[in-house]
Chain A
């Protein structure tokens, strides 16, 4: 009889594994080397430009409604002469067991075949559940219909939809670039190669701290970096299985630090 219960337990476990129903095509992963990050926020600016993020102004920012999908978190430790400032860029972690995905009643956010956590703007009814459940606070809500003053609307990225009032959005790992690279590779009759895809933040990082690639490909840069002893993931203890891997910063005194 014990075999019977073990079989049930095994089934229950396997249902909860990502990719149980169908194997994932890719597992897009970002690796961020905090040793290289100097907190310049070039990634933030490029994200605004690439993904048609509205600039909401001082008052809205004071209300904590800034639109940045990607933010540089700054933490200051110690008193004046002996101060340490630490940076960590935080964007959607594309969790494999994402709390936001179970929260949405209408499947506006779900996991796609590339291992990405996808947001469908048109399906969103705005219940805020995903954002409340998100442990990283990376989801952004369209509080109003934002307008771009002329002539700035001419610089909007045509590959990315402009969102309307009342929908949730977040970092997509620049899914439009992933799509473009996959289409190009398909036209050429081959697979996507490592380095074909560069999200805007990765492209604009002056120190090259942000790497992007497929973790399922053992020869990719991210797969190699993911084996680094400096590797850790943000709030890993919450068991959401995030797809962003950080490499610890080694501080001047030889002690490595988390953030």
Chain B
């Protein structure tokens, strides 16, 4: 929000402060407004097709199987006696992980005043909110009696029942609800001036909706001042919050005694993994988003270059922690720990998944050492999709290779997911796509006012002498 323009007053030429927009002053304020509002008001046939696909996928792959599961019981899943946590919790951690980059990245880049943040942060924050929502639904999906979910909320009741604050799951309830609320507020606060800009350019029902959402924004100095204060507060607040949320998610596993789950390194491992998969998610999403919305001039190759550097750093960090985890487990040389490691790394089919994960998460991102790869859309798509496949496998392996190999060999039993679980996994992607498609139509998905900060103050042609 702090404006840093360098406009050469002598020549009247406008220069962008950074290289985000190679076209420099080629984009005008008016153009930004119109481009963004256009993404909301003009709807093509492909959009409706995509939305219809996402909604029907969501209903068919998620809602129907879930209804079936609620009616029949958790037995329709592949869960069994040692493997009580399977794909549902994998998906929960995966989606929480995806959520970890949007808001966190936006907040960090805001505080460090990084200019290339401006055109991508809005959709990244939306991604956070929607993936938290997807993850939250998986909590209910994995419960035996989801209709009693409100028992995990601290509310006064006649039965004088209270919650177990020792339970890591209880920490989770608070962490995730706080995170979802604050990332939603963060997204909303940052959007207010843009909602006002939209309000001023639309008619009909949209006018009424955006008038309400814009909270009477007029763009006075004091409004900008307070918005900046509030936004900075949330940016600072959200960084430790995001770190704590994924630490707590990791404690759902790490506070047990199960070999393969009870690891002290899990909290940083999960935080790094979350930022890693979330950044990869942003890259994938941005590629689709800029293409579909025809906003290539706002999300440029320079953005992919910077995100590629981030992915490379996160990949190295993730690989380091992964090596430490395996090494310390192997070095401890307890029979239970060894069994889990061998089961995970050298027993089919898990060995295939493990080494595929190592390939996609450790080796493939090394391509991003080269600027040529960082600025190639194809390389970005391949690597970021690879990372997300790998990160999903990581969470899957953590659960499905630890629980089937607990301490008493008599109870060892493999976990094979059922069609219900696989279907709901597909359905979650449809759900996420549905939310995001609705978002791009209903919300200014590129920050109008902050993109403007980058392109310089409009001047009359022929000179800027004051």
Write the residues of chain A forming the contact surface with B, with a CB cutoff of 8 angstroms: 60, 63-66, 71, 73-75, 90, 99, 101-107, 110, 123-129, 131-133, 135-137, 140-145, 165-168, 235, 238, 240
Residue of B85, B166, B252, B407 touching A235 (CB-CB under 8 A): B407
Residue of B73, B167, B258, B413 touching A142 (CB-CB under 8 A): B73
Within 8 A of A (CB), among B137-153: 142-146, 148-149, 151-152
Contact with A along B403-436 (1 / 0, CB 8 A): 1001111110100000000000000000000000
Closest to B86 in A: A128
Closest to B81 in A: A64
Contacts of B164 in A (CB 8 A): 102, 104-107, 110
CA distance A141 to B164 in the complex (A): 21
Instruction: Confirm or deny: B75 has a beta carbon within 8 angstroms of a beta carbon on chain A.
Output: yes
Residue of B142, B166, B257 touching A128 (CB-CB under 8 A): B142
Beyond the given A64-B411, A143-B79, A240-B257, please list 19 additional residue pairs across the A-B interface where CB-CB is below 8 A. Answer: A63-B80, A64-B80, A64-B82, A64-B413, A103-B168, A104-B164, A104-B169, A105-B169, A125-B148, A126-B146, A127-B144, A132-B258, A135-B258, A135-B406, A144-B73, A166-B144, A167-B145, A235-B408, A238-B257
Contacts of B144 in A (CB 8 A): 124-128, 141-142, 165-168
Chain B proximity of A237: nearest CB distance (Å)? 9
Contacts of B347 in A (CB 8 A): none
Contacts of A106 in B (CB 8 A): 151-152, 161, 163-164
Do residues B84 and A103 form an inter-chain contact, with CB atoms below 8 A? no
Do residues B74 and A166 form an inter-chain contact, with CB atoms below 8 A? yes
Interface centre among B142, B161, B257 (most CB of A within 10 A): B257
CA distance A99 to B411 in the complex (A): 18
Instruction: Confirm or deny: B255 has a beta carbon within 8 angstroms of a beta carbon on chain A.
Output: yes
Do residues B73 and A165 form an inter-chain contact, with CB atoms below 8 A? yes
Do residues B256 and A99 form an inter-chain contact, with CB atoms below 8 A? yes
Residue of A71, A103, A165 touching B167 (CB-CB under 8 A): A103
Interface centre among B85, B252, B408 (most CB of A within 10 A): B408
14 contacts between A and B (CB under 8 A): A64-B82, A73-B411, A105-B163, A106-B152, A107-B162, A123-B151, A124-B144, A124-B145, A125-B152, A126-B144, A126-B145, A129-B167, A131-B84, A165-B145
CA distance A99 to B85 in the complex (A): 16
Main secondary structure of the interface of A (DSSP, over half): loop
Q: A74-B410, A102-B255 are in contact. Are A129 and B82 (CB under 8 A)?
A: no
CA distance A90 to B164 in the complex (A): 28
Chain A proximity of B154: nearest CB distance (Å)? 11
Instruction: Confirm or deny: B170 has a beta carbon within 8 angstroms of a beta carbon on chain A.
Output: yes
Chain A proximity of B114: nearest CB distance (Å)? 39
Chain A proximity of B96: nearest CB distance (Å)? 16
Instruction: Confirm or deny: B173 has a beta carbon within 8 angstroms of a beta carbon on chain A.
Output: yes
Do residues B257 and A103 form an inter-chain contact, with CB atoms below 8 A? no
Closest to A164 in B: B145
Closest to B71 in A: A165
Do residues A137 and B406 form an inter-chain contact, with CB atoms below 8 A? yes
CA distance A127 to B151 in the complex (A): 12
Do residues B163 and A132 form an inter-chain contact, with CB atoms below 8 A? no
Interface centre among A65, A125, A136, A144 (most CB of B within 10 A): A125
The 8 closest A-B pairs by CB, nearest first: A126-B144, A143-B75, A166-B144, A128-B84, A64-B413, A73-B410, A166-B145, A137-B411
Instruction: Confirm or deny: B460 has a beta carbon within 8 angstroms of a beta carbon on chain A.
Output: no
Contacts of A240 in B (CB 8 A): 257
Contacts of A90 in B (CB 8 A): 408, 410
Instruction: Confirm or deny: B72 has a beta carbon within 8 angstroms of a beta carbon on chain A.
Output: yes
